[in-house]
């Protein structure tokens, strides 16, 4: 009961200060972004949505959800750009995107592990080229991929955020031991799959002696930051604002030089 009260207090405090993200959202709208081609380690190319100052001292790799590079993914990139980060969202679908669940499922099924890892690494390589401190942030399907990007290049990543992700609790402890940076998991209280993944993941992180935080927003379900998911029925602007407050604070504490 004591822990529950503490969690509720933290949630209330976040909600009280969520108003500060309104100004940040306005700045994000003005940040703008553009698509560019990044080189992969095998001589190929992958497209990415990029925004933020080229001389930024820190960068954020954004991993989109199963809809692809949607307006929500672009807004995430622009949000980080407005905070002064160089932000990159890799297009894992090769120019395609979805507006329905059926389309999204087909695109997810078209992915393969080797190509996905290669493309995410291209994003990290482009961001770290100037010696920046880096974070990875992923939504839904992109949650586990943001962690995979970290695990594939742990020396380059200073923080990782998983937002209503799933499946990451199945990663073996031997891989998790490669982590050199803290994780933060965020989900809605009604998202049973994501909550279960988070609850199962915390003991694993304790076993491998790695840091992991958890924030649960009350009363919202999966995809609450994606207006295209479930025909917009799960979208909750208040939860999105609170999430940005938590994420921004976490990244600021780990991306400072």
Query: Among positive and negative, which fits the CA dihedral 239, 241, 247, 250?
Result: negative
Give the pLDDT of residue 143. 98
Q: pLDDT, tens digit, for every residue of 238-255?
A: 999 999 999 999 999 999
Residue 256 — pLDDT band, cuts 50, 70, 90?
A: confident
Cα separation, 11 vs 152, whole angstroms: 33
Q: pLDDT, tens digit, for every residue of 78-104?
A: 999 999 999 999 999 999 999 999 999
Residue 153 has pLDDT above 70, yes or no: yes
Q: pLDDT, tens digit, for every residue of 6-44?
A: 444 444 444 444 444 444 444 444 467 999 999 999 999
Q: Please report, for residues 99, 106, 138, 139, the alpha-carbon distance to residue 103 in angstroms, rounded to integers and kept in the order given.
A: 7, 5, 20, 18
Give the pLDDT of residue 129. 85
pTM for this entry: 0.89
Q: Give the mean pLDDT of 135-146.
A: 98
Q: Which domains occur in the chain, in start order? A: 2-26+34-169+178-255 (3.40.50.1820)
Cα separation, 112 vs 4, whole angstroms: 40
What share of the chain has pLDDT > 90, as a percent?
86
Residue 118 — pLDDT band, cuts 50, 70, 90?
A: very high
Contact by Cβ (8 Å): 46, 37: yes
Residue 109 — pLDDT band, cuts 50, 70, 90?
A: very high
Give the pLDDT of residue 187. 98
Cα separation, 218 vs 256, whole angstroms: 30
Q: pLDDT, tens digit, for every residue of 170-180?
A: 999 999 999 99
Give the pLDDT of residue 29. 47
Q: Give the mean pLDDT of 140-153.
A: 98
Query: Among positive and negative, which fits the CA dihedral 216, 217, 222, 227?
Result: negative
Give the pLDDT of residue 31. 60
Q: Give the mean pLDDT of 71-81.
A: 98
Burial class (CB in 10 A: 0-12, 13-18, 19+), 125: middle
Q: pLDDT, tens digit, for every residue of 211-241?
A: 999 999 999 999 999 999 999 999 999 999 9
């Amino acid at each position: 009961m004591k822990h529950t009260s503490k969690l509720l207090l933290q949630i209330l405090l976040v909600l009280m200060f969520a108003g500060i993200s309104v100004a940040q959202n306005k700045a994000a709208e003005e940040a703008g972004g553009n698509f560019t081609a990044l080189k992969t380690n095998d001589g190929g190319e992958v497209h990415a949505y990029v925004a933020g100052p080229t001389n930024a001292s820190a960068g954020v790799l954004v991993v989109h959800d199963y809809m692809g590079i949607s307006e929500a993914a672009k807004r995430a990139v622009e949000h980080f750009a407005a905070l002064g980060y160089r932000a990159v969202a890799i297009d894992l679908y090769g120019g395609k995107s979805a507006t329905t669940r059926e389309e999204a499922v087909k695109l997810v099924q078209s992915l393969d592990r080797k190509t996905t890892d290669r493309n995410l690494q291209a994003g990290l390589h482009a961001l770290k080229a100037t010696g920046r401190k880096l974070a990875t942030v992923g939504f839904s399907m992109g949650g586990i991929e943001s962690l995979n990007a970290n695990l594939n290049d742990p020396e380059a990543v200073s923080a990782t955020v998983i937002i209503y992700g799933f499946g990451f609790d199945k990663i073996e402890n031997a891989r998790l031991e490669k982590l050199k940076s803290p994780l933060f998991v965020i989900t809605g209280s009604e998202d049973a799959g994501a909550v279960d993944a988070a609850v199962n993941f915390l003991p694993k992180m304790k076993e491998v002696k790695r840091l992991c935080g958890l924030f649960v927003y009350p009363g919202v379900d999966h995809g609450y930051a994606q207006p295209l998911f479930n025909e917009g029925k799960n979208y909750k602007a208040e939860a999105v604002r609170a999430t940005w407050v938590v994420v921004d604070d976490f990244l600021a504490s780990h991306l400072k030089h």
